[in-house]
Amino acid sequence: MSALDVQVDLVEALLLRFLREELGAAGLSRAVIGLSGGVDSAVSAALAARALGPDAVLGVLMPYRSSNPDSVGDARLLAADLGIETREIEISEMADAYFGVAQVEDPTRRGNVMARCRMTILYDLSVEWRGLVIGTSNKTEMLLGYSTQFGDGAHAVNPLGDLYKHQVFQLARHLGVRASIVEKPPSADLFEGQTDEDDLGFSYAHADAVLYSMVDQRWNREELLAAGHAPQVVDAIARRVVRNQYKRLPPVIAKLSERTINQDFRYLRDWHA
Amino acid sequence: MNRARIRIAQVNPRLGDLAHNLDLHLAEIEAARADGIQVLVFPELSLTGYFLKDQTAELAMNLEAAELQRLIGESGDLSICVGFVERSSSGAIYNAAAWLERGEVKHVHRKVHLVSYGMFDEGRDFAAGTGYRSFDSIHGRFGILICEDLWHMTGAYTYLLDEVDGLIVTSASPARGVAAEGGARGLRSARTWDRLAGAFATLTQSWLVFANRVGFEDGVAFGGGSAVYGPGGDTIAQLDEAALLDPGRLDATLDGATLRRARVATPLRRDERPWVLASELAARDTDGRRIR
């Protein structure tokens, strides 16, 4: 047993209520989710299907030319397992039109554009479907900033944002997500053979352990090193957490007046009057 | 105390929506009356919702406010404990709970121990209450504690000295802590409340009614788990595990005979030595630091 293990039945009970209530607060009861074929979107979709009923969930598959065919295959199988409706919209033409005009070669830039193409499609379909876009970002990648701002980072509500990657896997098994999805190495799938762990330079298990101690348990650097974590990994993770804070907050507003949005004009989203 | 049939209304108020929440209270009152309930307890800030931020001042009301007057009019022989944002005659704003019965406000408790750490910021929006006053209801002598008030000994100790029959603890406690380590079951926050409530019921040898709310505000769930404890600290009523996080009603019967027997068996109030505390406090400044 890991220190990060959660009570999956309790987490499920909370997240199903969360989805029903926060969608209801927006006056909606339907959901749109981008399905990558990976474990995060699979868990978000499985939770939404349980919370709202499969008929209320639209899964959207948005491969690019170079995407691994297994990703679309797994996403199709997941949707069939859950009994949810799907749309398949290839983003190759959409993204290539821009890549050609702007001569974009850098893989990071290309990946960000693809993520924002997908965001555009999800938000458009959410109008047609009369649903809310459900997030698929977990706590590990949000803390590390391993996401595209206004791309996969854009969504209305996020059931996974307080779960580390290990906990997402635990929940995936609890929800019966098929083995082909749970067992493959996590990948942003922007080019062949890419894996998250190669990109990051450390494993999810290591990142989860360090982040859990650093964030949830409030350990300082000395305590993390004393627990046996390598200084270069601890420092790399800490730098990413600080550097990517901007992705976790709304844009900065220049304060001029006596009452400024989000500074001294403070209301929750679930504001009723 | 007399035998009293008490109910906790474990409700889900809508943030900032007074009209909706008033209807919610009226529906619970109607149901309670139909079921022969004598004391109906709502959670903390039940009329307004919890994470109010700038809505705090907008929703603050004095005791003449139409919503409270409507509830006062409904009280009669049904005693009602309701949570609201109180604006005092001087303009200070309190996190308050009012006890309504026989068409009047019998008592108002203003939360003393505001919580301003972690996810909480009450000290910014509310003034702190300045005391714990027990009161004699038609159903017995009670003392109200609002959430964090139970995390300090002052309130419960004062009510012990007053020999209350019951502690009424109202709460809007967020659900948190889902770790499985060590075979843990249920929310960490709920286990802590259970230990606190059981301990204070034991130490005050009184009934303890824990009314917590449910529902979500911007992703934060409130943990429900409302329960009633006897003077030995045992849980005498709680919701089924499957219903802990949902709106619900929890009924229990409180009586004086059980208290009398418990206090004969374990006479903690009789053996309390208030002068020990008095002499300790006399040797200290108002911040509790020893000066003599």
Local confidence band at B136 (pLDDT 50, 70, 90 cut-offs): very high
Q: How many CB atoms lie within 10 A of CB B275?
A: 9
Burial (CB count within 10 angstroms: exposed 0-12, middle 13-18, buried 19+), residue A87: middle
In a domain, A262, yes or no: no
Dump pLDDT digits (tens) for A64-73. 999 999 999 9
Give alpha helix (H) positions in A130-230. 139-144, 165-174, 179-183, 196-200, 204-211, 221-226
Q: Give the per-residue pLDDT at A272.
A: 87
Per-residue pLDDT averaged across A245-266, rounded? 95
SS3 label, residue A133: strand
Dump pLDDT digits (tens) for A61-98. 999 999 999 999 999 999 999 999 999 999 999 999 99
Continuous segment of H or E residues that includes residue A121 = helix A107-129
Distance from CA of A209 to the nearest CA of B (A): 14
Burial (CB count within 10 angstroms: exposed 0-12, middle 13-18, buried 19+), residue B232: middle
Q: Do A1 and B181 touch (CB under 8 A)?
A: yes
Residue A56 φ/ψ, nearest 5 degrees = -95, 0
Over 90: is that where the pLDDT of A177 sits?
yes
| B55 in contact with A, Cβ within 8 Å | yes
Nearest to B180 among A7, A22, A264 (CB): A7
A34 annotated ligand-binding residue = yes
Query: The tokens of A184 are what?
Result: 């493959």
Q: Where are the beta strands (DSSP E) in B44-90?
A: 79-87
Domain boundaries, chain B: 4-282
- In terms of DSSP bridges, do strands B235-238 and B227-229 run parallel, antiparallel, or are they unpaired? antiparallel
Bridge partners (DSSP) listed for residue B141: B136
Dump pLDDT digits (tens) for B23-78. 999 999 999 999 999 999 999 999 999 999 999 999 999 999 999 999 999 998 89
Q: Give the per-residue pLDDT at A203.
A: 93
**Percent of chain B residues past pLDDT 90, beyond the cut:** 96
Instruction: Tell me if B143 sits within 8 A of B164, measured CB to CB.
Output: yes
Over 80: is that where the pLDDT of A191 sits?
no
Q: Determine whether domain B4-282 maps to CATH 3.60.110.10.
A: yes
Looking at residue A124, which CATH number applies to its domain? Answer: 3.40.50.620
| B175 in contact with A, Cβ within 8 Å | yes
Nearest to B54 among A1, A22, A267 (CB): A267
Q: Do B54 and A269 touch (CB under 8 A)?
A: no
User: CA-CA distance, A47 to A206, in Å (whole number)?
Assistant: 27
Bridge partners (DSSP) listed for residue B166: B142, B207
Query: The tokens of A153 are what?
Result: 């980072």
Distance of CA A144 to the CA centre of its chain: 12
Q: Give the per-residue pLDDT at B221.
A: 98
ipTM score for this prediction: 0.94
In a domain, A109, yes or no: yes
* Residue A201 backbone zone (phi > 0: left; psi -120 to 50: alpha; other: beta): left
Q: How many domains does chain A have?
A: 1
Local confidence band at A194 (pLDDT 50, 70, 90 cut-offs): confident
Q: Using N-to-C axis directions, what is the helix angle for A231-243 and A204-211, rounded to 10°? A: 70
Distance from CA of A226 to the nearest CA of B (A): 22
Closest residue on chain B to A268 (Cα): B218
- In terms of DSSP bridges, do strands B140-146 and B135-137 run parallel, antiparallel, or are they unpaired? antiparallel
Residue B228 φ/ψ, nearest 5 degrees = -125, 135
- Residues found in chain A: 273
Instruction: Tell me if B126 sits within 8 A of B94, measured CB to CB.
Output: yes
> Residues A75, A78, A80, A85: what is their CA dihedral angle, to the nearest 10 degrees?
-60
Give the residue numbers spanning the domain of A185. 8-195
In a domain, A106, yes or no: yes
User: CA-CA distance, B243 to A54, in Å (whole number)?
Assistant: 24
Per-residue pLDDT averaged across B176-186, rounded? 93
